[in-house]
Chains A and B, each alone.
Chain A
């Protein structure tokens, strides 16, 4: 299917997309005028505008078959009201309840039925993926399905037009989701990735040769490495920890103005520092282990340090406000540079005070410092610098994404594993409709009217 869903400025159509063109079009969209236009013309333009957004990838005939004039709605009931009245109050008098001071007893907001015209399309797999915020446009979601990155109830589903049933669980490959919702790579990053790939390729071919040639050499080299680690002059642990902390601080405080290469240097430096500390621990295998193991080992080391002098904790100024919001987040996965600017500014201030104000003995850590280090480490673990990925690393949300970020009630999404459950079909309720549509009543109702006509 040819993709005609371009975000042209001249037409100004609204699409299911997160692009900035679409944001601009959404912002300047005005409902088409109704004065001096026939009812047919009004319905036509309303239909055209709403179909450009709702399922433009679906053929008109296909959609007409899906359309249903009956619209699902619910009324939230209050148990106390139901208990107080068995319905006789509402039907008393002349059949519509006895008036209280001229007002009728029950007043409800109108249910926006016509906003639900395109509810059947929300059942489609590609649309549901877009609504769950797993893809940046419905077209991209469709591509993910076709390329085999989507499973429904654990089975691969290749049909974007698959209609989800209530209770269906769909899951998208997390790498695709990170690619769809993340920043694109800069040319510099692309080049780095290319170089890394080339290097890995040549290394793997070399390894294959070596493995065939000499298995004895490996054992020898391992020994030498061990000797190297033992042979390094034992620096003061305090010094290294101090350096490590400084690194962590700079990693955490980097704002969005920091240039990318500089930031990457910082990250690399931090990684190296971590490695240096770890190499001094008893077990030499920890370096080769996973990041998880490294992290636990480091935390273990640091905890021991912190435990030594618990009395001195309160000497340094502790900015409460800076950590009130952050303490809850330490466990939550990662820290991103954009979003943490405000918090990390305070953090760096606190550090400046802590490190400059007093002559610090780095072997004893305050809670804040410990937190910072832990956060820097979790960030390194969960959101690492990896140029082999298809998106810019460390991951950060793409621009203009937040203006489109909402999750409708009929989906339950788990973002960690990029899976979602289609709970039920979307419904209208008094005052609100669950189908996300950018159009107001003046478009929704004529469009509904257009499809009420049976012309086939």
Chain B
């Protein structure tokens, strides 16, 4: 890197000495008039080329770009994205989703929920008491996002009542810069915000398996799942019961233990289920099947679907309550009156599996002589790994 000596500062500090022989006066009053001539003298002393005017070539190029092509990025236009890719487009057509990075063809700036849509979600879930699943299908928003929106709007309401500071101008600016999904006008169809039936790719499906099947036999998703997880083929009678893989969804919802297991001991794992079971909204497949079966009976199909959803909700609710009750049964909470703390007491099971052969296993409860505390052992994450909500 060349030395970073600013020519002007040098000329100012050295001025009286440098200019003394050429000009008779070196008083302070004459300094401003002399500075220009002296800097020329300086640059001439060391090289024949003109000294850079306080800017490198790269800096000059940068500011040139920023002042010409790049000046469009300085301020945004409300309701439009303003990404670097607009320089290359050179056309009004922007039907494609906008890409913020010119080199990355696979990253898109996805729309966010508009303020009205967000409030609508809150309204439907909290005030109209609709289930998250139904709202998700109605508005085309992922169920996790709906839960998050309800939480955030709730928090916002609380902060507004408490009079805490809000970042309103900032929020408005962001909603102008980023694409948003608007709430549909009355009578219009709501545009879907995101795909809601995403099937997570299971690691077992990563491998390529050569599995010969007679051409005369039909091979469906249920059987493919069994092959991927290494389970033996189903009995013919068992296979005949399943007319479509989505039949399994309801069956598993009613009885989660109906999923079979493969392997023994620590290697035991559940048999991979077909996509119809593993997607977030299996009931949508059932609805489509009803539609295919009864193409001309829209009302009857809708009725069937609402009944199905009610039934499934009831089952899920019952299971949740059962789990909660079981947990409470195991746990004794003691809260002394004049104490800041609650004590949760669980029965400890003393077996070889829980406390180890010598009773000093690393997962065992309580302090154990000679075993370092968890946060002292090597390779352990020392900062919190989770924060309870």
Q: Please report A residues at the B interface, Cβ cutoff 8 Å.
A: 9-10, 20-21, 23-24, 26-29, 31, 70, 72-80, 82-84, 86-88, 91-95, 112, 115, 133, 152-155, 157, 159, 161-163, 165-169, 171, 174-175, 177-178, 181-182, 256, 332-334, 336, 338-340, 342, 382-383, 394-397, 399-409, 412-421, 423-424, 427, 429, 431-441, 443
A-B contacts besides A83-B292, A409-B194, 17 pairs, CB < 8 Å: A10-B58, A70-B203, A73-B200, A79-B197, A88-B218, A88-B219, A92-B218, A334-B172, A338-B75, A339-B78, A397-B170, A405-B81, A406-B110, A407-B174, A414-B152, A415-B167, A439-B104
Residue in A24, A153, A162 whose beta carbon sits within 8 Å of that of B388 in the complex: A153
Question: In whole Å, how far is A340's beta carbon from the nearest beta carbon of chain B?
Answer: 8
Question: Is A403 touching B73 in the complex (CB atoms < 8 A)?
Answer: yes
Question: Is B177 touching A405 in the complex (CB atoms < 8 A)?
Answer: yes
Count chain B CB atoms within 10 A of each CB in A29, A86, A95 and give the residue with the most: A86
Which of the four size classes fits the interface of chain B? 35 or more
Interface mask (B105-133 → A, CB under 8 Å = 1, otherwise 0): 11111101101001000000000000000
Contacts of B221 in A (CB 8 A): 86-87
A72 to B200, CA, bound (A): 8
Question: In whole Å, how far is A90's beta carbon from the nearest beta carbon of chain B?
Answer: 9
Count chain B CB atoms within 10 A of each CB in A24, A115, A155 and give the residue with the most: A24
Question: In whole Å, how far is A3's beta carbon from the nearest beta carbon of chain B?
Answer: 19
Contacts of A93 in B (CB 8 A): 215
Q: Does B144 contact A (CB under 8 A)?
A: yes
Residue in B70, B76, B112, B213 whose beta carbon sits within 8 Å of that of A23 in the complex: B70
Q: Please report B residues at the A interface, Cβ cutoff 8 Å.
A: 56, 58-59, 62, 65-66, 70, 73-76, 78, 81-84, 87, 100-110, 112-113, 115, 118, 142, 144-145, 147-149, 151-153, 155-156, 159, 164-178, 194-195, 197-201, 203, 213, 215, 218-224, 244-246, 274-276, 279, 281, 284-289, 291-292, 383-389
Contacts of A174 in B (CB 8 A): 165-167, 170
Contacts of A256 in B (CB 8 A): 75
Question: In whole Å, how far is A86's beta carbon from the nearest beta carbon of chain B?
Answer: 4
Contacts of A165 in B (CB 8 A): 385-386
Question: In whole Å, how far is B48's beta carbon from the nearest beta carbon of chain A?
Answer: 25
Question: Is B383 touching A423 in the complex (CB atoms < 8 A)?
Answer: no
Question: Is A83 touching B246 in the complex (CB atoms < 8 A)?
Answer: yes
Residue in A28, A75, A157, A339 whose beta carbon sits within 8 Å of that of B173 in the complex: A339
Question: Is A403 touching B84 in the complex (CB atoms < 8 A)?
Answer: yes
A402 to B284, CA, bound (A): 39
Q: Given the interface contacts A26-B84, A397-B76, does A31 sit within 8 Å of B177 by beta carbon?
A: no
Contacts of A404 in B (CB 8 A): 100
Contacts of A418 in B (CB 8 A): 167, 170
Question: Is A423 touching B142 in the complex (CB atoms < 8 A)?
Answer: yes
Can you offer 26 A-B residue contacts whose CB atoms are under 8 A? A9-B59, A20-B62, A20-B66, A24-B70, A70-B203, A77-B275, A79-B279, A80-B288, A82-B288, A83-B246, A165-B385, A333-B172, A402-B177, A403-B84, A403-B100, A406-B100, A413-B112, A417-B164, A417-B166, A418-B170, A432-B106, A436-B100, A439-B103, A439-B104, A441-B105, A441-B106
Q: Given the interface contacts A339-B78, A436-B100, does A416 sit within 8 Å of B166 by beta carbon?
A: yes
Question: In whole Å, how far is A203's beta carbon from the nearest beta carbon of chain B?
Answer: 23
Residue in B107, B110, B156, B199 whose beta carbon sits within 8 Å of that of A416 in the complex: B156
A166 to B144, CA, bound (A): 9
Q: Given the interface contacts A79-B287, A440-B105, does A406 sit within 8 Å of B178 by beta carbon?
A: yes
Chain B residue with minimal CB distance to A443?
A: B103
Chain B residue with minimal CB distance to A173?
A: B165
Contacts of A168 in B (CB 8 A): 386-387, 389
Contacts of A401 in B (CB 8 A): 76, 177
Q: Given the interface contacts A87-B221, A402-B75, does A437 sit within 8 Å of B104 by beta carbon?
A: yes
Contacts of A402 in B (CB 8 A): 73, 75-76, 81-83, 177
Q: Given the interface contacts A75-B199, A409-B110, does A421 sit within 8 Å of B151 by beta carbon?
A: yes
Chain B residue with minimal CB distance to A329?
A: B172
Chain A residue with minimal CB distance to B82?
A: A402
Question: Is B198 touching A83 in the complex (CB atoms < 8 A)?
Answer: no
Chain A residue with minimal CB distance to B113?
A: A412
Contacts of B168 in A (CB 8 A): 333-334, 382-383, 416
Contacts of A397 in B (CB 8 A): 76, 170, 173, 177
Q: Given the interface contacts A77-B198, A403-B73, A436-B100, does A383 sit within 8 Å of B84 by beta carbon?
A: no
Residue in B156, B288, B387 whose beta carbon sits within 8 Å of that of A157 in the complex: B387
Q: Given the interface contacts A9-B59, A76-B197, A436-B107, does A175 sit within 8 Å of B165 by beta carbon?
A: yes
Question: In whole Å, how far is A122's beta carbon from the nearest beta carbon of chain B?
Answer: 12
Question: Is A403 touching B83 in the complex (CB atoms < 8 A)?
Answer: yes
Question: Is B151 touching A24 in the complex (CB atoms < 8 A)?
Answer: no
Question: In whole Å, how far is B77's beta carbon from the nearest beta carbon of chain A?
Answer: 8
Question: Is A177 touching B170 in the complex (CB atoms < 8 A)?
Answer: yes
Question: Is B148 touching A77 in the complex (CB atoms < 8 A)?
Answer: no
Contacts of A163 in B (CB 8 A): 385
Question: Is B387 touching A416 in the complex (CB atoms < 8 A)?
Answer: no
Question: Is A82 touching B104 in the complex (CB atoms < 8 A)?
Answer: no
Count chain A CB atoms within 10 A of each CB in B107, B145, B289 and give the residue with the most: B107
A127 to B64, CA, bound (A): 31
A159 to B387, CA, bound (A): 12
A314 to B382, CA, bound (A): 70
Contacts of B56 in A (CB 8 A): 9
What 4 A-B pairs have minimum CB-CB distances, sorted nearest first?
Answer: A333-B168, A415-B171, A83-B288, A402-B76
Contacts of B74 in A (CB 8 A): 399-400
Residue in B152, B203, B223, B384 whose beta carbon sits within 8 Å of that of A169 in the complex: B152
A440 to B274, CA, bound (A): 34
A24 to B74, CA, bound (A): 12
Contacts of A440 in B (CB 8 A): 103-105
Question: Is B107 touching A433 in the complex (CB atoms < 8 A)?
Answer: yes
Question: In whole Å, how far is B88's beta carbon from the nearest beta carbon of chain A?
Answer: 10
Count chain B CB atoms within 10 A of each CB in A87, A383, A419, A439 and give the residue with the most: A87
Contacts of A332 in B (CB 8 A): 115, 172
Question: Is B152 touching A407 in the complex (CB atoms < 8 A)?
Answer: no
Question: In whole Å, how far is A201's beta carbon from the nearest beta carbon of chain B?
Answer: 22
Question: Is B152 touching A87 in the complex (CB atoms < 8 A)?
Answer: no
A400 to B222, CA, bound (A): 53
Question: Is A333 touching B144 in the complex (CB atoms < 8 A)?
Answer: no
Chain A residue with minimal CB distance to B144?
A: A423
Contacts of A427 in B (CB 8 A): 198, 200
Question: Is A407 touching B384 in the complex (CB atoms < 8 A)?
Answer: no
A395 to B174, CA, bound (A): 13
Question: In whole Å, how far is A70's beta carbon from the nearest beta carbon of chain B?
Answer: 6
Residue in B102, B222, B286, B387 whose beta carbon sits within 8 Å of that of A152 in the complex: B387
Question: In whole Å, how far is B179's beta carbon from the nearest beta carbon of chain A?
Answer: 9
Q: Given the interface contacts A79-B288, A83-B246, does A417 sit within 8 Å of B152 by beta carbon?
A: yes
Question: Is B165 touching A23 in the complex (CB atoms < 8 A)?
Answer: no
Question: Is A421 touching B78 in the complex (CB atoms < 8 A)?
Answer: no
A441 to B104, CA, bound (A): 7
Contacts of B388 in A (CB 8 A): 153
